[in-house]
Structure 1
Amino acid sequence: MNQQRKLQVGKITFTNILPVYHFFDEASLGKYVEFIPQVPAELNKKMKEGSIDLGPISAFAYGENAHHYSLLPNLSISSTGKVMTVLLFSKKPLHLLKESSIALTNQSATSINLFKIIMEKFIGGKPSYTVMESSLQRMMKQHDACILIGDDATLSNWNNPGYLVYDLGDLWYHYTGYPMTFAVWAVRDEVVQQYSDQLYAVYQGFIQSKQRGRAQIGEVIQYAMNHFGGSEIHWQTYFSILSYDFNEEHRAGLQHYYDLATEMGLLKQAVQLKFCFTEAPTMRING
């Protein structure tokens, strides 16, 4: 018989996660789940330590721990082309950064390794890298370019003093033809084994919340405007280019990312995608 306890679920403190979390039915599912707000890097760390059971971890973090984690199907943060929140700010054109000094955000392993793949595999560069706290002004004071993600990237782009800006999702699509998956919903394997009933209920809750988030995106946009600022057209564009699905094309693109990362030595061993469930749930939870 399944054990019972509240699952500790990570919640990225970025606006890109809103359509999946905004309509999550905590009234019905509160007995199953406790949300833990975190930035991506801290969520990755706590998942690995075991203090968080599941959450939208960075795609690279899943690659590092695929032998301990399983994936929830039909959930990701992906884009085909521009993603708008994974940006390279540069003092000079991309092809002139081959031997430059690049500051990397300390908030996302996926994005910084994506940039390394693009720069070293596709452009043929070998710049020097420094991981720093996210601050456009401090990063660019010491370096030729920097990578910012999430709301830091959005705000910096809104207030850009004149740097060239490259979207890493767009660059990945240009060089590979694949969408890029930045985050996946991963679960520690022991949770799958010991708490499958609760996990399935929480999974259904996320799928239903995602469906409502897509159908009622206007409410999500209003929330983002009230809590973060920006115009309605900005958020309409932003949420329209993000995909929260995890279809065959998304999986193929992510597998290509893992294969290149392994080839370059960024990952220690080959990665295969492993799922908790074979299909999205069809039954619904009643309040």
Structure 2
Amino acid sequence: MRPVRISEISYTNVWPVYYYFETEGLEVELIPQVPSQLNRGMAQGEIDLGPISSFAYGEAYPNYVILPNLSVSATGPVGSIFLFTKGKDLSELDGARIALTNTSATSVNLLRILLERFEQVKPTYLTMAPHLEKMMEQAEAALLIGDDAIRGSWHHHGYRIFDLGEEWHKRTGLSMTFAVWAVRREIAEQRLPELERIYQRFIEAKEKGKKDLEPVVNKAISQVGGTREFWEHYFNGLNHDLGKDQIKGLKTYYQYATELGLLKQEIEICTLDLLASISTSV
């Protein structure tokens, strides 16, 4: 039987979990990619489980179930999902050209919710590779996520920066869940014993990350740059649980995305009961 293929978001926002994720004794293959590529791989059956964009789950939720208590979320600033503008406020972007990173799904649509629903503005959008200066040559604002956004925020370019997690929280008072751990339904049905072992490793890794971030911080400094103070603040601002607060925010995000026509139907958040069967959250 082939290994279980597990997605790995190739950004630092999952490092507090993946740094401690032990694969010894598991028949698994890790597939590191940016979110948009992982979303595509999961949809095409090339990936079996792991973190994908929350929006991608919403697009194809009948094909997936969610592993409980795992996510990439934030209540307030997320620290790595930024809209850069040439000085304009969000309310001043009506008719503006906005360059969207081609690596994202959740954040692209979160931006549309913030602008079109809350600010009542209608920009025009173009999708580009995540290179801030090239994006800003063609647009009045640019959306970056992950480590591209972090690096962009470090440069003294004079742009105004909006944190989308913070902007969502200002307007809703809710947590924002950017990614969920999903599993294809056929894998949940056919390989449940393996899935339970993999899930247990993820939960153990998440708990270790909560208790000891120092090696994760050291890795980030070494591989990405930045200061210890920056990374400690960044990682402590992330939440990798999927509790009631995260689900409430996620359901609200799906509601707004559906109202804007970004998603085609009402979304059910289905979680996998690893002791029994599939259940639907309320």
Which TM-score band (shorter chain)?
over 0.9
Matches within 5 A, 1:27-42: 27-29=24-26, 32-42=27-37
Q: Deviations over 1:120-152 (max 9, x none)?
A: 000000110111111110110111001000000
Q: Does 1:245 align with 2:253?
A: no
Rounded to whole Å, the distance in 2 between the matches of 1:278 and 1:101 is 46
Task: Indicate whether 1:51 and 2:26 are aligned.
Answer: no
Distance 1:195 1:5 in 2: 11
The residue type equivalent to 2:34 in the other structure is V
Match of 1:17 among 5, 14, 17: 14
Q: Which runs of 5+ in 2 are unaligned?
A: 276-282
Q: Return the alpha-carbon distance in structure 1 between the equivalents of residues 205 and 93 of structure 2.
A: 42
Q: What SS does the aligned partner of 2:61 have? A: coil
1:215 aligns with 211
Q: CA separation in 2, counterparts of 1:160 and 1:102?
A: 20
SS at match of 2:258: helix
> Does residue 95 of structure 1 match 2:91?
yes
Q: CA deviation at 1:6?
A: 1.5
| Structure 1 segments of 4+ aligned residues over 6 angstroms from their partners | none
Q: Which amino acid aligns with 1:100?
A: A
Post-superposition Cα deviations, 1:47-92, rounded to whole Å, max 9, x if no partner, equal 0000100111000000001010000000000000100110000012
CA shift, 1:219, in A, is: 1.2
Report the RMSD for the aligned CA atoms in angstroms: 1.0
The letter of the residue matching 1:50 is G
Q: 1:132 & 1:229 partners in 2: Cα distance?
A: 25
Matched, 1:26 2:23: yes
Normalising by structure 2, what TM-score? 0.95
Give the whole-Å Cα distance in 1 for the aligned partners of 2:197 and 2:24.
13
Query: Once the two structures are superposed, what CA deviation does each residue of 1:227-265 show, in whole Å capped at 9, x if it has no partner?
Result: 111110000000010000001010010000001101110
The gaps in structure 1 that reach 5 residues or longer are: 280-287
What is the match of residue 285 of structure 1? none
Shift of 1:27: 2.1
The answer to whether the Cα contact below 8 Å between 2:196 and 2:274 also exists between their aligned partners in 1 is no
1:69 to 59, 64, 69: 64
TM-score by length of 1: 0.94
The Cα offsets for residues 169-194 of structure 1, whole Å up to 9 and x where unpaired, read as 00000001110000000000000000
Determine helix, strand or coil for the equivalent of 2:14.
helix
Is 1:171 the counterpart of 2:167 in the alignment?
yes
Query: Could you tell me how far 1:278 is from its partner in structure 2?
Result: 6.0
Letter in 2 for 1:98: D
Written as runs of structure 1 = structure 2, the 5 A alignment for 1:60-209 is 60-91=55-86, 92-209=88-205
